[in-house]
Structure 1
């Protein structure tokens, strides 16, 4: 079978580790990561950390990354799963109608979904988190709860096809279970095709 594609949703000011760790983990697992953003171009990622003595997040420039497809070009049927990266980008990209349409597809189809940090703002805005348990950074707890979701302060929260973490510090906890879901879905698909 051909390599299955998985979306990674970003915009300017997406968190570098939230984006690159899943990007490379997908490649290791034999999937093709496809970076999607408001338009096809190069995007500036950032690094976030709450420094000792600070009460807010400090931000530095991180690496850049190219978006392979724009939100308007996404045909969600072509993708095995989706990952909502964190950083500040979700604050403004969540309003994109094409992204909302794609987001709803993955929830309705029961495909593997990952979300970290501010990534929760996208499915929350798309009205996909009602009665769903999710991890996110504590300052996004309101975004989740006001849209009917249930905040869980843990490194990995699994709620059916939805797997989430709080910040990039949780990458080693929640990404593995998400990759496992993708692998199980791929194996089921291959078994169905062979039958």
Structure 2
């Protein structure tokens, strides 16, 4: 069974993480959670409540890290998913995560990103000239690093599939998994 990385940290968004986690299993892939260190992480849920102009945050489920960034051998993985929430704001500076991120872009493997997840490939200098969806408050992070902001539920740019928030899960996760399946099937034929 091919493995696919899901990048998280404390305050990763629960739905951004768990929806693709289970969809990967349904498609016959092994989701592997990677984070700064091997331990249990607290996820959160986000919503802009009616009448609010800023996101409210609640505690969500917890999830265990399967392999820390420092131990990831990127060659072993078919694809990667950058989960949203607040985690990317602080984990993007991890040198091993930067190494991992650059590998997937250079190897042209299927990549998914949602919400604040864009901050990781942006910091790793992998978004120049690439079209991506993200939550509007991360538009600056994308554009200052040379990316192109697109306000749509699913943006596909080559091997990169992105969505704005967990509200877009039903739009962008499927096309990303289709890329993974197509790559897996092509590898079996060769």
Q: Structure 1 length normalisation: TM-score?
A: 0.97
Aligned partners of 1:124 and 1:59: how far apart in 2?
24
SS of equivalent to 2:143? helix
1:69-84 counterparts in 2 under 5 A? 69-84=67-82
**Displacement of 1:182 after TM fit?**
0.0
SS in 2 for 1:18: helix
Whether 1:89 aligns to 2:91 is no
SS at the partner of 2:15? helix
Q: Which residue of 1 aligns with 2:114?
A: 116
Residue 41 (structure 1) aligns with: 39
Unaligned runs of 5+ in 1: none
SS of residue paired to 2:42: strand
Match for residue 153 of structure 1?
A: 151
Partner of 1:24: 22
Q: TM-score, normalised by structure 2?
A: 1.00
The correspondence of residues 42-57 of structure 1 with structure 2, limited to 5 A, is 42-57=40-55
Q: Distance in 1 between matches of 2:51 and 2:122?
A: 31
- State the SS of the aligned residue for 2:156: strand
Shift of residue 75, structure 1, vs aligned partner: 0.4
Alpha-carbon RMSD across the aligned residues, in angstroms, is 0.2
1:9 corresponds in structure 2 to 7
Equivalence for 1:141: 139
1:36-69 alpha-carbon deviations (Å, 9 max, x no partner): 0000100000000011111110000000000000
Instruction: Name 1:171's counterpart in structure 2.
Output: 169
Q: Structure 2 stretches of 5 or more lacking a match? A: none
Q: Quick one: distance in 1 between partners of 2:27 and 2:70? A: 27
Name 1:100's counterpart in structure 2. Answer: 98
Cα distance in structure 1, aligned partners of 2:65 and 2:16: 15
Please give the secondary structure, in 2, of the residue aligned with 1:54. coil
